Copies of this chain bind each other. A is one copy, B any other.
Amino acid sequence: MNDKLLVLGTMAYDAIESPFGKTGKILGGCATYIGLAASKFKTSCGLVSIIGGDFKKSHLKLLKSSGLDLSGVDCLSGEKTFFWSGKYHNDLNLRTTIDTQLNVLKKFKPKVPDNFKDSSIVLLGNLDPNLQGEVLNQMRNPSLIIMDTMNFWIDSYRDKLDEVISKVDVFSLNDEEARQITRTHSLVEAAQKLHTMGPSYVIIKKGEHGAVLVHADGIAALPAFPLEEEQVVDPTGAGDSFAGGFMGYVAAKGTMDFSTMQTGIAWGTVTASFTLGSFGLDGLVATSREALETRMQEFRQIARI
């Protein structure tokens, strides 16, 4: 096993409104969140994504200075970067999409750079399952394949989605999505149904209620890191930060047993808690490895039995 991670996902500009404020166009996209989260751990992480000519040099610089390899990021200079804008309501669990401009995404043909084809870990971020499948086909026998998805793909691309799911080791999704795919209310049972579709590990993210990891060998459950209301400003990217922190820890640890995955969801939880505290990526960018370690120690105390 090597320490290389390959992340497929979007790089985007977002405009976000929440009860705590409103942003202009800020850096976003699931690959960005996942990559920055994973970069907190000692790994070599490459992104496969696409951007337009409007993508700022300062943003490229930020990602590179975090140690991310961008040789798999295609740039269509005559086009615009994927754009999403949305609004969170007083209950931050509810959000409305205001605008989605696919832009460069319509022409996205993901291409894994040669030096990342042998990555031990692949994370297929929330994207068209056809693209997720294309990336998998380019990889040389990865040790661990992790995928994320969202309701849109479950509704409209179910056959292709099921095909990708069948090849995956770790399926990370939220509680609603788990219920939607399996038509099962109980999350433990939903996870068991998802196992029969392929993935041996199922991680169900429950937002403010924590996360559950289900495997034939056992089950792990954690609360969220408890935050006060003023510490939760913008939930965008929290699930991706969770996945990135989880994957970063697993890659750095270099083992793939249940115990590693269990500790991984705690690191994912702690990583995501920093994303929530600011708009966009600001919280994650400002977080040092030391701050992560400190909060992990706090989390161990908080969730001690």
Are the C-beta atoms of B188 and A229 separated by less than 8 Å?
A: yes
Are the C-beta atoms of B188 and A228 separated by less than 8 Å?
A: yes
Give A168-187 as 1s and 0s: 1 = Cβ < 8 Å from B's Cβ atoms.
00000000000000001111
How many positions in chain A have a CB within 8 Å of any CB in the partner chain?
A: 35
Are the C-beta atoms of B209 and A209 separated by less than 8 Å?
A: yes
Q: This chain: how many copies in the complex?
A: 2
Query: For chain A residues 241-300, which have a beta carbon within 8 Å of chain B?
Result: 262-263, 266, 296, 299-300
Max chain B Cβ within 10 angstroms of own Cβ: one of A188, A189, A206, A226 = A226
B206, B220, B226, B266: the one within 8 Å of A302 (CB) = B220
Which residue numbers of A lie inside 8 Å of B, CB to CB? 90-91, 184-189, 206, 209-210, 212, 218-224, 226-229, 232, 262-263, 266, 296, 299-305
Besides A218-B301, A221-B226, 19 new A-B residue pairs in contact (Cβ under 8 A), listed by A number: A91-B185, A187-B226, A188-B229, A189-B229, A206-B209, A210-B210, A212-B223, A218-B302, A219-B226, A219-B302, A220-B303, A221-B224, A221-B302, A222-B303, A222-B305, A223-B223, A266-B305, A296-B305, A299-B305
Name the distance in Å between A75's Cβ and chain B's nearest Cβ: 41
Docked CA distance A161–B232 (Å): 31
Docked CA distance A299–B222 (Å): 11
CB-nearest residue of chain B to A297: B305
Docked CA distance A263–B303 (Å): 10
* 22 sampled A-B residue pairs with Cβ under 8 A: A90-B185, A184-B229, A185-B229, A186-B232, A187-B226, A188-B226, A188-B227, A189-B228, A189-B229, A206-B209, A210-B210, A210-B223, A212-B226, A218-B301, A220-B303, A221-B224, A221-B226, A221-B302, A262-B304, A263-B305, A300-B305, A303-B303
Docked CA distance A262–B224 (Å): 16
> For the complex, would chain A's binding face be called helix, strand, loop or mixed by DSSP majority?
mixed
On chain B, the residues within 8 Å of A232 by CB distance are: 186
CB-nearest residue of chain B to A212: B226
Name the distance in Å between A283's Cβ and chain B's nearest Cβ: 18
Docked CA distance A185–B232 (Å): 12
Name the distance in Å between A175's Cβ and chain B's nearest Cβ: 10
Are the C-beta atoms of B228 and A186 separated by less than 8 Å?
A: yes
Are the C-beta atoms of B218 and A303 separated by less than 8 Å?
A: no
Docked CA distance A226–B220 (Å): 9
Docked CA distance A137–B82 (Å): 67
Known A-B contacts A209-B209, A210-B209, A212-B226; the reply to A221 vs B303 at CB < 8 A is yes
Name the distance in Å between A113's Cβ and chain B's nearest Cβ: 35
Docked CA distance A184–B229 (Å): 10
Are the C-beta atoms of A186 and B220 separated by less than 8 Å?
A: no
